Chains A and B, each alone.
Chain A
């Protein structure tokens, strides 16, 4: 049954990508070769060709981030690391390199401390990627059914008890994984974060050039996009400050 599920899964997941896969993988290999040779520009050109084919993956974005880092274009490096992290929040390599790249930018913002519950919840959510949560939800559902079957049909009292409790656990796992997978998918589909690309920008109090200057941000800083209004974005930075910034100053992801 599990094998069956996985088979279906992989077919559905990979089918649309099959067409371009062959050449894209070659490009990826060539790009890695160029990176190793220190030709970061040509590596990026090849990586971008893959991106232009509407393909994405954690290694692709990670390598692009690395190439930009080596070119000392830190805002772009951060942008691609963040993109990779969005696909797989649990990837340790990406987290490490993002942390290193964040040391190279001007703004150092103390994030608002998270509560214990929030930290645990987000930590749990980010411990697996969206795809992994999806698979887990299917597996948990299957195990839930197996447990229910045991509970309903077993004539052995021990097996029935096991089925009951395993069923309860599996239900919780299933519910959580569906929730997380849904949240991660929503986050992946909406571009609700952005990286500042202009060397210095001034955040305003309203979406109007004449309004009061609130604070100054520099390139490479990550912001959360809360709202849009005719070419302006309402943004929130890690320490909780909120203001308006013209959309052309940032690259959303």
Chain B
């Protein structure tokens, strides 16, 4: 069964008992079947209206004409009702089937609507054809729309009834930024508020704004799914205000950034004027009481904000500290260390805490500078943001777990944290305390247990750089002062060559003169020997043995020494015979010479019978010298 509308229900309500009683009866007096049509004859462009076909009998195969010139918004909505009535003892049974179409006119002109048809008990019933005149839109149709529709009053709950207009003063959406001009990184809170003077039954967000160039965080206060409501006065009028959305936006680049509009669709509940209702039904009067909410019409309304432009400024360049890493807001910074005296391989924790107002979630924590020998684990970073109406505040902590591996005194230099304060437009730098850490040698790591593990490790290179400049004497020289190939270079070489040649010549002369000395001696040898032999001859005549032998010996030795170029000191029998052999003196002559020398020496130190021997030796001496003279 079709869901019956309220209008029908209340008519049926009173007759229910009766229906039950007479239901078995089948024989009824009935009118001939008819199909009537009711619609407005004149509409305005854009107006929504209904065309209702009504049949007074059950039928099948309902056929509709084409609604040329109109947009069919919906339909057919069918409903049927039947009623029994007893008037003056005669009972009548009324059946009413309605087929309703919702149409909207979209262009001017007169448009005919053809007949609709219905087959009732094999008989085709048609409605009359009629024409609808569409008038140009003069803005008045909304005022007239309250009345006219005869079928409309039966469809109070339908959203397709003639719309009462909701003016922009009664219902509007607004975006309220905390500021329209900000620095990069400064947070702005945008609040989307719905202002209304009329009740709104539901709303849905059609289009969320896009935030190109912004980091966003939705901070809408969703307490149990309902919107936060308050009352505000605008232009002296009281509005109910609902916060649709609240969002923190943080611009990430400079320039004029646009926030696209948000649009929402809401259904406003508009009270229609009660004198527009026409009904002869006594039940209607009762049930149309405001108590039953009969005269409220739901109006769909689309609302959107205007485009919001935010002027984003770059952070000033002058005065930007080296430690600045993009933090904008107002912050506090401190570091805490849990212990400063410990043993090697024990851990300590260094906690960096930044707290304040600003975009704490994107905040970049400063990094501490630990001594290179420390083993540092990745920090544990905890962010605890606290959302307030003014934006985000909160605390960010970085906990470093650090294990010193070597004993000694260490210094963790103060850590700097810089931020930009947009309220006064300046940078601030906060510096933490320096921490001194005393690390004692731990008990287990230095070989006391008898295991001599080596603690050596390779050199750790911490960085690389070019070697330092050369200082001291720069040994500056004129360009192209290369000594090679210049005249002085060749002069030096030539000078050395010259020196070499001179030295060579000098040494050759000296050699020559040495040779000359020997030749002199050679030349003089015969002369000297002859002189000595003459003296010996004189001694022989006076028979002076001693002097004779001395002269004789000196004559022989001197001669051979001069001839052979042997020095006096090296003179001996052996050197003489060797030297003679070298000079290719015949062996017999050498032997003879040596024999003569021997007998001379012998006679000299062992004098015996004088005369013959002396004469004999003298002759021998002359003989060998003469012979030697020929050879040498």
Contacts and interface: CB of A to CB of B under 8 A. Distances in A.
Nearest to B475: A57
A141 B469 contact: no
Given A28-B476, A182-B485, A145 B469 contact: no
A209 interface: no
B478 A54 contact: yes
B482 interface: yes
Interface in B453-506: 464-486, 488-489, 492-493, 496-497, 499-500, 503-504
Given A56-B476, A134-B482, A188-B482, A96 B492 contact: no
Contacts of A184: 484
A5 B475 CA distance: 19
Interface in A55-112: 55-60, 62-63, 66-67, 69-70, 93, 96-97, 100-101
B468 A141 contact: no
B275 to A, nearest CB: 84
B257 to A, nearest CB: 33
A185 B489 CA distance: 13
B507 interface: yes
Given A9-B492, A134-B484, A137-B484, A100 B466 contact: yes
Interface string A177-188: 010011011001
Contacts of B484: 130-131, 133-134, 137, 178, 181-182, 184-185
Interface residue SS majority, chain A: helix
A62 B470 contact: yes
B504 A54 contact: no
Given A63-B469, A149-B503, A12 B483 contact: yes
Contact of A60 (B466, B468, B474, B480): B474
A66 B468 contact: yes
How many B residues touch the partner, as a band? Answer: 20 to 34
A14 B477 contact: yes
A147 B297 CA distance: 128
A237 interface: no
A13 B481 contact: yes
A133 B484 CA distance: 9
Interface stretch (A17-25, A118-126, A213-221): A17-25
A185 B504 contact: no
Interface in A16-61: 16-17, 20-21, 24-25, 28, 32, 35-36, 50, 54-60
B119 to A, nearest CB: 85
Nearest to A36: B469
B492 A138 contact: yes
Contact of B466 (A97, A145, A148, A153): A97
A90 B268 CA distance: 91
B476 A12 contact: no
B496 A60 contact: no
Contact of A189 (B464, B480, B488): B480
B485 A57 contact: no
Contact of A131 (B470, B474, B482, B493): B482
Query: In this complex, which of B464, B470, B473, B499 has the most chain A Cβ atoms within 10 angstroms of its Cβ?
Result: B470
Contact of B492 (A5, A17, A59, A149): A5
Contacts of A148: 500
Given A101-B466, A131-B482, A145 B500 contact: yes
B30 to A, nearest CB: 99
B485 A66 contact: no
A69 to B, nearest CB: 5
A212 interface: no
A37 B237 CA distance: 72
B241 to A, nearest CB: 58
A201 interface: no
B476 A60 contact: yes
Contacts of A8: 488, 492
Contacts of B470: 58-59, 62-63, 93
Nearest to A54: B479
Contacts of B465: 100
A173 interface: no
A13 to B, nearest CB: 5
Contact of B469 (A21, A66, A101, A142): A66
Contacts of B481: 13, 16-17
A92 B468 CA distance: 12
A107 B234 CA distance: 68
A55 B482 contact: no
A152 interface: yes
B504 to A, nearest CB: 7
Query: In this complex, which of B471, B483, B489, B496 has the most chain A Cβ atoms within 10 angstroms of its Cβ?
Result: B483
Given A9-B483, A96-B467, 16 more contacts: A5-B492, A12-B483, A16-B481, A17-B477, A32-B471, A36-B469, A54-B479, A69-B466, A93-B470, A100-B466, A131-B482, A131-B484, A145-B497, A181-B485, A185-B484, A189-B482
Interface of A: 1, 5, 8-9, 12-14, 16-17, 20-21, 24-25, 28, 32, 35-36, 50, 54-60, 62-63, 66-67, 69-70, 93, 96-97, 100-101, 130-131, 133-134, 137-138, 141-142, 145, 148-149, 152-153, 178, 181-182, 184-185, 188-189
29 contacts: A5-B496, A8-B488, A9-B492, A12-B483, A12-B486, A13-B483, A17-B478, A28-B476, A35-B469, A55-B477, A55-B479, A56-B476, A58-B470, A59-B474, A59-B475, A62-B469, A66-B467, A100-B465, A100-B466, A130-B482, A131-B483, A134-B483, A134-B489, A145-B496, A149-B503, A149-B504, A182-B485, A185-B485, A188-B482
Interface of B: 464-486, 488-489, 492-493, 496-497, 499-500, 503-504, 507
5 shortest interchain CB distances as A-B pairs = A59-B470, A134-B484, A63-B469, A181-B484, A145-B500
